[in-house]
Amino acid sequence: MNLESEPVSASWSIDPDSREAVYQQIAARLAREIAEGQRAPGERLPAIRTLAAELGVHRDTIALAYERLAHAGWVEGRVGAGTFVRPSEATRESLGSASPLRGSGIRGRVGHATDESAASLEAGVTAEIRLSPQVERLLALADTRPRYATGDDVVALHRLVPDPRFYPLEAFRTCLDEAIREEGPELFSYALPEGDPRLRCAMTDRFRKLGIDRSADELVLCHGASQGISLALRLFSRPGDRIAVEVPTYANVLSALTGLGLEAAPVRMDEHGADPADLDRVLERADVKAFYTIPSFHNPLGTTMPLDRRRQILEIAGRHGVPIIEDGFELDLRFRGEELPPLAALDESGGVVLLFSFSKSLFPGVRVGSISARGRSLEGLVALKHATDLSDARPLQAALARFVESGAYDRHLSRIRAMLGERHEAMARALPGSMPDGTVWTRPEGGYQLWLELPHEVDTRDLLADAARAGVIFSPGSLFMPDGRPSRAMRLTVACADPGEIRRGVEALGEVVDASRAAGPGIGRVAGSHL
Amino acid sequence: MNLESEPVSASWSIDPDSREAVYQQIAARLAREIAEGQRAPGERLPAIRTLAAELGVHRDTIALAYERLAHAGWVEGRVGAGTFVRPSEATRESLGSASPLRGSGIRGRVGHATDESAASLEAGVTAEIRLSPQVERLLALADTRPRYATGDDVVALHRLVPDPRFYPLEAFRTCLDEAIREEGPELFSYALPEGDPRLRCAMTDRFRKLGIDRSADELVLCHGASQGISLALRLFSRPGDRIAVEVPTYANVLSALTGLGLEAAPVRMDEHGADPADLDRVLERADVKAFYTIPSFHNPLGTTMPLDRRRQILEIAGRHGVPIIEDGFELDLRFRGEELPPLAALDESGGVVLLFSFSKSLFPGVRVGSISARGRSLEGLVALKHATDLSDARPLQAALARFVESGAYDRHLSRIRAMLGERHEAMARALPGSMPDGTVWTRPEGGYQLWLELPHEVDTRDLLADAARAGVIFSPGSLFMPDGRPSRAMRLTVACADPGEIRRGVEALGEVVDASRAAGPGIGRVAGSHL
């Protein structure tokens, strides 16, 4: 049988509901055919494009299946020629759950010998170890995520990591040194689950300026806003429940939901944030246990929810008795316009937990975020944090306390905000000349990210490889869709590109976009506008 | 109605399966009686001992209910006289889920005014925020845990935290400084989810000496073994599943199970570890998804599983296809006898994930632990770690890498092991003279903890207060029981007490134990021996 000449889609069954990812099913099927001699050594596998079309799956899925087969030694890629069945079976590895002779069980690798797989294909079977269904789904989700090319000459308009060129390392190191000298060994013992008291006080003082009038006892430090998301989700929900999320939303919250066995309940957005009527409708459902939202400097949109919309959202959530998980991960990064109170500052019911992070305003490596909460929510968070990992690293928290107290953090913020204003300005100047008529994009008042929607039907995932070759990377819009649907949008960031790099990147991107328009109509099923 | 003269147990219904903890139900009932005028201002509440006996609950439960009522302003304690209904309602707070007028919903506190509760009792109800059932259960579990008295003159034989007097702070600070200077800003960006490569290499090299022949890629760094436990549990199970655990077992693994909505499936132990026949029986159940075990320097027993038992356990788990979560949190702390290979070193199926930690061998504040895993388990762990908190703090990992590479860690271990031998020797010398005939205890070959069983029927929880007054604290055996049952055992540690303190503490403990024997027979339902 030769897939090049004979379509396989009729005889292959791809089960989209299987515990195995689609690419795993495909890899397993091909490995079985090779093992059973249906595919001879040296035989070429079908072209990625061909097999994708036959099976009705994305080309990335086929590419991933081939990659797995190559990694396991079953096939090898030859540049420009295709993918070929390898001559010898001696170097083949089991494909784990995709191993043809082992059903769908998970199997670890035995020893280091490269001939292990031949053995494993024949060896007696010990019982299979199974991963939890939510971890299997998480792995399948991870497989759909783009893997970005990297390189020094590539403009990284996809990164949402503060520019290392701006890290105030020397000042922080001094604070760290001071903390260790002053606090001594106790600093290296277990911290309270809620974290270093001095840092919580310093943060509370800053929050007060944003209208968040809570005590230091109502602040739980955690491992970045990302851990805060996991803890807050667990606080209100259990597997099988739904969490209302904006469409689009932060990609990693979708991973967190998947890993916790939760489902996203999508809420439409307009340029002011979550659509009130749609939120009202979604929160009707009894299995929706919380609403995750990013009111300021939305990720990926870059938009900010005005005050009246904030009050509306609070009223709706309050009426339904649904708590709000407010992600304030860039709360300190406003570079123009006036500060708006977070939902947590407007809320009087105790139904809002607010996440905050130093990862974007200072650097991620300090691993400090926080959750503001009240009453039983607060008690629950402290208990969860303790049950999850006891406590965080106090040495870094104590150093950060000194860094904030000394005013160094506010001085750093001034620099960062000025840099943000400058880079967003460069972006706003570069886009009109490079993007086709009808392209729209957001003008953020804070944070690193903005959202751009192309006027023509195209799945921006399909532009990634060309863009990387042209020297620029972006995040395709589908990454931020709860259902992963194609999108003609992309998220751009100014985090790791200076004005010159932004200009260069946007110009390269414009050429790739132009080429895609010239190539004809897109796939005809891309998501509508979010702006 | 006066509870002092009239038993209440007939009219009160305590629902042990309620979402509310028993103490909350009691507090809610009393608050309602006060609110409805059944208990007049100035009236004395029943004595803790009396009400506990009437309701058939532990005295701690009643004490906790009274504490909550006092905290909320409903009652006040007067030293030596009892607990009394407070004169005014103006200072009363809602009891949260125990609030009599709010059903069982959770409510945050509004504002800071002390008269809020009178208002909240009457105000229009906004919808209630509910915590997830597993968080409610976690809070109820936390309420059953002893809260230890502290004080400089108290010998802390309950602490399982390495002695701060031994922390090699200066050497570590040098490594931290060096890491920051050498690696610069990139060190403060996001790490790989699996952590600092250099540290993983250094750890892999050390593991190899224990027979664990895995590559650095098969090691995922995490936030102490505690986070490792949470991740490993989530890797294999989902809420509603069961995890086989030894009886007794590490108290915080019971919290982790509760917080994740998992149930413990108890496995009997003898002095060599988990009982093979009982493990075989427990793993029969389809809903048991993993076996959590501490083969070396068991917590709380202090015992070590011999080689043949290790092979038996592996065979049984392998036959059932149940993965093993091996907790090696004190793996580096053997102070006598010969090293034994961890289960992970003996396993050929990939069905063992091994947790390791620097928290006990160095200090907890570095927050570095690891999970060794293979194949799909490894992939799943990396994805889970990323979805949970992206990554850990690389600056501390990079410093630790240098600390290990330089030999400083091994030199530190020599000191710690000598200290452990000396302190356990002091313990072994002190116990015979202070404890009643028939008392048995373990003689660990590594780690900080040992287990002691009294010869008479007593719930060691009942000795805690007297012991603290006598100047010593221990951990009551019930803390380590999956069902929290009373136990006549206790866990003692040598972590934070030097030989002189150990002698003093054991002597004080002996007197408290003697007094409890003189006081007559115990409650008649304490757990049997685990030795």
Q: Which of B234, B289, B319 sits opposite A127 (nearest CB)?
A: B319
Nearest CA in chain A to B228: A389
Going by the DSSP 8-state scheme, the letter that residue A125 receives in this structure is P
Tell me phi and psi for residue A114, to 5 degrees.
-75, -15
A348–B contact, CB cutoff 8 A: yes
Contacts of B96 in chain A (CB under 8 A): 375-376
Q: Which of A67, A129, A132, A381 is the best mutation test for B, with the most CBs of B within 10 A?
A: A129
Contact A164 B186 (CB under 8 A): yes
Distance from CA of B396 to the nearest CA of A (A): 9
Contact criterion met (CB below 8 Å) for B510 and B468: no
Q: How far apart are CA B81 and CA B83, in angstroms?
A: 7
Q: How far apart are CA B484 and CA A126, in angstroms?
A: 36
Spans in chain B with pLDDT lower than 70: 1-21, 59-60, 71, 79-80, 88-128, 149-151, 520-528
Q: Three-state SS for B327?
A: strand
Contact B126 A363 (CB under 8 A): no
Q: Which of A252, A365, A390 sits opposite B394 (nearest CB)?
A: A365
Q: Which of B186, B367, B371 is the best mutation test for A, with the most CBs of A within 10 A?
A: B367
pLDDT at B374: 93
Which residues on adjacent β-strands are paired with residue A446? A334
Distance from CA of B437 to the nearest CA of A (A): 37
pLDDT at B111: 28
- Token output for A350: 């105790």
Contact B376 A349 (CB under 8 A): no
Contact B128 A223 (CB under 8 A): no
Nearest CA in chain A to B323: A129
Q: Residues A503-531: what's their mean pLDDT?
A: 79
Secondary structure (DSSP) of A283-311: HTSTTEEEEEE--SS-TTT-----HHHHH
For residue A15, what pLDDT band results from cuts at 50, 70 and 90? low
A528–B contact, CB cutoff 8 A: no
Q: State the number of CA atoms in the 13 A half-sphere of A95 facing the CB.
A: 32
- A380-400 pLDDT tens trace: 999 999 999 898 999 999 999
Minimal CA–CA distance to B505: which of B447, B435, B404, B457? B435
Q: Which of B366, B376, B391, B396 is the best mutation test for A, with the most CBs of A within 10 A?
A: B376
Contact A377 B131 (CB under 8 A): yes
- A202-242 pLDDT tens trace: 999 999 988 898 899 999 999 999 999 999 999 999 999 99
Contact criterion met (CB below 8 Å) for B474 and B492: yes
Nearest CA in chain B to A261: B238
Going by the DSSP 8-state scheme, the letter that residue B20 receives in this structure is S
Question: CA angle at residue A396 from A393 to A400, to 5 degrees?
Answer: 135
pLDDT at B17: 56
B residues 230-289 near A, CB within 8 Å? 230, 234-239, 241, 252, 255-256, 258-259, 261, 289
Percent of chain A with pLDDT over 70: 85
- Token output for B494: 């040598």
Contact B375 A107 (CB under 8 A): yes
Contacts of A320 in chain B (CB under 8 A): 127
pLDDT at B85: 86
Contacts of A391 in chain B (CB under 8 A): 364, 367
Contact criterion met (CB below 8 Å) for A351 and A344: no
For residue A168, what pLDDT band results from cuts at 50, 70 and 90? very high
Inter-chain CB pairs, A–B, below 8 Å:
321
CB atoms inside a 10 Å sphere around CB B125: 12
A377–B contact, CB cutoff 8 A: yes
Q: What is the 3-state secondary structure (H, E, C) of B356-370?
A: EECCCCCCHHHCCEE
Contacts of A223 in chain B (CB under 8 A): 223, 389, 392
Contact B169 A186 (CB under 8 A): no
Query: Whole-number mean pLDDT of chain A?
Result: 86
Q: Residues A20-46: what's their mean pLDDT?
A: 80
Contact B390 A226 (CB under 8 A): yes
Contacts of A252 in chain B (CB under 8 A): 386-387, 390
**C-beta pairs of B48-52 under 8 Å, 24+ apart in sequence:** B50/B3, B50/B4, B51/B3, B51/B8, B51/B26
B residues 398-457 near A, CB within 8 Å? none
pLDDT at B149: 64
Does A79 have pLDDT greater than 60?
A: no
pLDDT at A64: 75
Distance from CA of A226 to the nearest CA of B (A): 5
Q: Residues A342-368: what's their mean pLDDT?
A: 95
Nearest CA in chain B to A240: B239
Contact A367 B392 (CB under 8 A): yes
Asked if the bond preceding B444 is cis, omega within 30° of 0, the reply is: no
Q: How far apart are CA B84 and CA A251, in angstroms?
A: 54
- Token output for B235: 């890797």
Distance from CA of B110 to the nearest CA of A (A): 6
Contact criterion met (CB below 8 Å) for B506 and B427: yes
Distance from CA of A353 to the nearest CA of B (A): 11
Q: Which of A222, A289, A374 sits opposite B109 (nearest CB)?
A: A374
pLDDT at B529: 72
Q: Which of B184, B226, B383 sits opposite A389 (nearest CB)?
A: B226
B residues 98-157 near A, CB within 8 Å? 105-112, 126-136, 138-139, 142
pLDDT at A19: 54
Contact B224 A128 (CB under 8 A): no
Residues contacting residue B359 through CB under 8 Å, at least 6 positions apart: A190, B162, B224, B225, B329, B366, B367, B368, B369
Q: Which of B99, B132, B181, B243 is the best mutation test for A, with the most CBs of A within 10 A?
A: B132
Contact B376 A97 (CB under 8 A): yes
Contact B135 A234 (CB under 8 A): yes
Q: How far apart are CA B321 and CA A129, in angstroms?
A: 5
Distance from CA of A450 to the nearest CA of B (A): 21
Distance from CA of B488 to the nearest CA of A (A): 26
Q: How far apart are CA A196 and CA A400, in angstroms?
A: 10
pLDDT at A106: 27
Burial A151-190 (b: 16+ CB within 10 A, else e): eeebbbbbbbbbbbeebbbebbbbbbbebbeeeebebbbb
Q: Which of B111, B259, B367 sits opposite A387 (nearest CB)?
A: B259
Residue B18 identity = S
Which residues on adjacent β-strands are paired with residue B83? B77
pLDDT at B267: 98
A residues 169-198 near B, CB within 8 Å? 169, 172-173, 176-177, 180, 184-191
B residues 215-234 near A, CB within 8 Å? 215, 222-224, 226-227, 230, 234
Write down the ipTM of this complex: 0.77
Which residues on adjacent β-strands are paired with residue B32? none
Contacts of A138 in chain B (CB under 8 A): 380, 383-384, 387
Question: CA angle at residue A390 from A386 to A393, to 5 degrees?
Answer: 130
- A119-153 pLDDT tens trace: 333 333 345 689 999 999 999 998 888 877 666 78
Does A17 have pLDDT greater than 60?
A: no
Minimal CA–CA distance to B159: which of B501, B413, B475, B441? B475
pLDDT at A444: 98
- Cβ neighbourhood burial of B175 (10 Å; 0-12, 13-18, 19+): buried
- The number of helix segments (H) and strand segments (E) in chain A equals 17, 16
Distance from CA of A315 to the nearest CA of B (A): 10
What's this model's pTM, rounded to 2 decimal places? 0.78
